[in-house]
Structure 1
Amino acid sequence: MYEKLTVILGAAMVLLNTSGTTVGQSVMGGVVVQYGQIGRNITLSCNNTGNRVAEWRLNDLKIIEARGMELTRTNLTLFNANPSKEGEYSCHDQESGNAYNRVSLMLGYPPGKPQVTCWSVRYPLNVACSWKLENKTYLPTEVNVTYRYGMGDVKICSTGWTMEGSCIIEYVNLFSEIPYTVKVMATNPLGFRSTFKQFIVEKIIKPDPPTDVRLSPISNQPKKLLLQWKPPVTWPDSDLFLLKYTIKYWRAGSNRPRMIEVSDQTSYTLSGLRSRALYFVEVAAKDFIDNGESSDWSPAVSARLWSN
C-alpha cells in the first residue's frame, strides 16, 4: 500500500474559483498554479457541488486510475510525483462535461541552503560576496542579500531571481574588530532557506592572481631565468597597499616544486637551475602584512634556459 502522505500546499483546492491565493499557489487567468515537491504525494481537490463523482482530465485528456495515483469522488492523489506529472489538471461534471476548476501543477524543490563566500579582492575599496544554492529548485526562486555592520542598519546588497550571483559592499570600515554580517535568503513557493556569513574585512583579503607573468632565458646565463609579472589588475594601489609574492617553480619531469617569497617587487632571477632544462613557474599574491589569504596561482608559464 502506498503511504497516503498528502501534500496540500496551503488551503484546500476548494478555493480555486476565488480570487484569493494560498501558500504554494497563485492564480493566473482563472487557472490556479499549484506548486508541489518532487517525490512527495500531491492531492488535488475538486470544488464540485453535491459531492458528485468528478471526472479528472490532464491537458484535456481523461485520466484513468492507474498505478501511482488514486481517484476518489472528488480528489486526485498523485503518489511520489515526478516532473512527468506536470500539466493542467481539470475536474468536470460527468454528465455535462463542464469544468469545475483548473489547476496548473508545477513540481520542484524548496531552496537548499545558500553557500556564501566573501572576499576583498579590491582592498581597501570593497568586499565582494558571492552565493550559490546547493540544489536546483526547478521553480521560480528569489534570492535576497542583505548586510549590516555590527548592530547597524540592514542594507540591501542584491535581490533577484538567479540561483547564483554576487554583490559588492562598498565603503567598508577598515581596521575594525566589529564584524560585518551578510544574510542570503532564498525563497520559492515551497519554502525558504537562509545563510549568515560574518567577516572582519582584513581577514578576508584575497587578491586576484598576478598578471602578465613572463619567464625568459638570460643571455650567456645557462643556469638563470628572468621572471617578471605585474600586480593584479583589480588591486587598487600596489604602491600604497603593498603586496608580497610567492613564486612556485619546477623543472619539467619533476614533481617537487620549489617556493620563494619576495616582497614589494615584480621581478626575480631564478638561479642555480639545471642547464638547458625546461622550467615552469606560477606566481601568487598576498597582502604585504599577511592579512587574509594568498591569491590563486597565476597560469603557469615556461621557458628553457639559454644555451649557445
Structure 2
Amino acid sequence: MNAESQESSAAASTDLVVKNGRAMPGLVLCPRGLIVLGILTLSCVHVNSEILSNEVPEVHFASLGSTVKLTCRGSHQGISEVIEGLIVSFGRSAVVWTHNGSVVRTRQNHPSDVLLILTNTTRSMEGNYSCYEERRRDLLQSIILHLGYPPEYLSVSCKVPSHSKILCTWTQRVKTHLPTKYISSYRVDNEETEPCEQEIQDVNECTISDLKFWASKHLVNITEVNPLGSKSTITNVDVHKNLKPDAPEELICDQVNGEPTQLFVHWKPPSSWPSDTHVPFPLKFELQYRPVGSKFWSKMETEDTSIVIMDALIGHLHHIRVRAQDAFINYSQWSEWSEVVQAQPWTDPSMLAEATTDTLFVSIFPSTFPVKATEKSPDPSFDENGSQVLIILGLLAAVMVVVVFSITVLLWANNNRPSALQDSKLAWSPNYVLRIDVVNCFDLPLRL
C-alpha cells in the first residue's frame, strides 16, 4: 500500500514537472540544480538589498581649496554572474564616477578607480558624485559633496534700548557656504552662563530680557557651528555706555490758535522704554526746529513729552524733530532722531493777501538767520571766505614789512661805508697811533 502510494505521488510530481516546467526540465532528476537555484536566489536578494541601501546618498563636507578623497564603498564585493547554472565571481571590478550625471575623467592612479581624488577644490566641484560598476553600470554608491569654510569670528553688535533689555545681532565676516547654526549665551561676572534667547532661528539676533543693570559688564558669547567646526565670539557689553533709547514715536506739531509765532509739539516715548511711572529711569528729550530753507537749528530740552515753540517764524513752514536720552546717565547715548515733521504757525486771515511779499521773502530766505536760536551751527562757506581774506591780508603785510626793512638796511649800509673804511685804515697804521699818543702826552700839561 505504501509503495503504491509513493509510486503514484512520484508519477504525479513527474507529470507536474512535465506540464509546468519546460524551462527547468532537470530539476527533479538533478538535485544540484535546486541547490544552485537556492544560492542564486539568496545572492540576488543580498545584491538587491545592497543596491537599495546605496541609493541613499551619503553627504560629505570639505573645505574649499583642500584635497577631497571619495571612496566607492559598494565595490568591495566584486561582481557575480550565473553561467550555465553556476555562480561565477570575477572579484573586484573597475568603477566609473559621474559628477551631476557627467562622467568624471580620472587619472589612472588606482587600479580600480575606487578612490576618487579631487585636488584644489572649488565651488564648481560641489554636487552629486555616483560610482557605477564599469561593465554592467550598476549603481554602487552616491555621495553629495558640499564645500565651504570652517567658522571664523563674527561681527557682533549689541545695543541696549532700555534698562531691562539687550539686543545683539551678528553677521559672518567670512561666508562659509555651509549650513550653520548659532548658540548664543551670556554671563555676568562669575555667575552661571545663561542663554541669550533666539526668538527666530533664521534671524541672527538674540535678546537678553533679564538684564542685571547693577552689573555694567555683560559677556555675550555667540558660537557659530557648521560641519567643519565651531568658533566662539565673545563681546563685552557695557550696559551704561551702550544705553541708547529708541527714537521717540508719533511726533505731532499743531498750530496754536491766535499765536502766529507758536507751535505746540508733542510725542510719545519709545515703546521699548518702560512706561511704568514708578520706574526710576526717566527720559529727557531734545527738540530741534528750523524754518524750511534755513541752515540753522534751534533747540529746546525737556523731560516732558510736549513743548511749545515760542519763536517760530511768522507765516513760514518749519521742520521739527526730537530725540531721547536717559535723564540720569549723562554719558549714555542719544537716540536716533525721529522722523522730521513739517508745520506752519497760525496765520491771520487778513495776512493772506500778502502772499506775494511772502513768496519774495522765501526766495531770499537762505541768506537770513533765525529770529531766535539757542544753538547755531556755523556757516562753513562764511568761515572759508573769511579765512582766505585774513590770509591774503597777512601775506601782504608781511611782504610790505620785508620790503621796508630791506630798503632801510641798504640805505644805512650805503651811508656808513666810507667811514668804516677810514677807520679800518687808521686801525692798521701804527705810526699814526703812536703820534697821536705822543702829541696827546705833550699837550696835556700845556692845557693844564
TM-score (norm 1): 0.76
- Of the three residues 340, 346, 370, the one matched with 1:306 is 346
Matched, 1:138 2:177: yes
Q: 1:163 to 1:174 in 2, by over 3 A?
A: closer
Higher RCO by CA contacts (8 Å cutoff, separation 6 or greater) = 1
Q: Say whether the 8 Å CA contact 1:130–1:167 is kept in structure 2.
A: no
Residue 270 (structure 2) aligns with: 232
Give 1:33 shift. Answer: 0.8
Higher helix share: 2
What does 1:188-267 align with in structure 2 at a 5 Å threshold? 188-237=226-275, 239=277, 240-262=280-302, 264-267=303-306
What does 1:77-96 align with in structure 2 at a 5 Å threshold? 77=118, 79-82=120-123, 84-96=124-136
Matched, 1:175 2:214: yes
TM-score (norm 2): 0.54
Q: 1:215 to 1:144 in 2, by over 3 A?
A: same
Give 1:158 shift. Answer: 3.4
What does 1:292-303 align with in structure 2 at a 5 Å threshold? 292-303=332-343
- Secondary structure of the equivalent of 2:150? coil
Matched, 1:33 2:59: yes
Q: Say whether the 8 Å CA contact 1:36–1:108 is kept in structure 2.
A: yes
Structure 1 window deviating more from structure 2 (216-225 vs 143-152): it is 216-225
Give 1:89 shift. Answer: 0.1
RMSD, aligned α-carbons? 2.9
Q: Say whether the 8 Å CA contact 1:42–1:81 is kept in structure 2.
A: no
What does 1:20-169 align with in structure 2 at a 5 Å threshold? 30-38=56-64, 40-47=65-72, 48-49=75-76, 54-64=95-105, 72-73=109-110, 74-77=115-118, 79-82=120-123, 84-123=124-163, 125-158=164-197, 161-162=201-202, 164-169=204-209
Q: Say whether the 8 Å CA contact 1:245–1:284 is kept in structure 2.
A: yes
Q: 1:216 to 1:42 in 2, by over 3 A?
A: farther
Give 1:184 shift. Answer: 0.4
Higher strand share: 1
Tell me the alpha carbon deviations over residues 217-267 of structure 1, each in whole angstroms, 9 at most, x when there is no partner.
Answer: 2222222222111212221146332110111223222343333332x2111
Distance 2:297 2:147 in 1: 51
Q: 1:59 to 1:251 in 2, by over 3 A?
A: same
Where structure 2 has 5 or more consecutive residues not aligned to the other structure, the ranges are 1-52, 77-90, 349-448
Distance 1:108 1:255 in 2: 52
Tell me the alpha carbon deviations over residues 94-123 of structure 1, each in whole angstroms, 9 at most, x when there is no partner.
Answer: 223344432101233433432223333232
Distance 2:228 2:103 in 1: 28
Distance 1:259 1:189 in 2: 55
Give 1:136 shift. Answer: 4.1
Distance 2:298 2:54 in 1: 65
Count how many residue pairs are aligned between Structure 1 and Structure 2: 272
Residue 288 (structure 1) aligns with: 327
In structure 2, give the amino acid aligned to 1:46: T
From the CA coordinates, give the structure whose radius of gyration is larger: 2
Q: 1:286 to 1:276 in 2, by over 3 A?
A: same
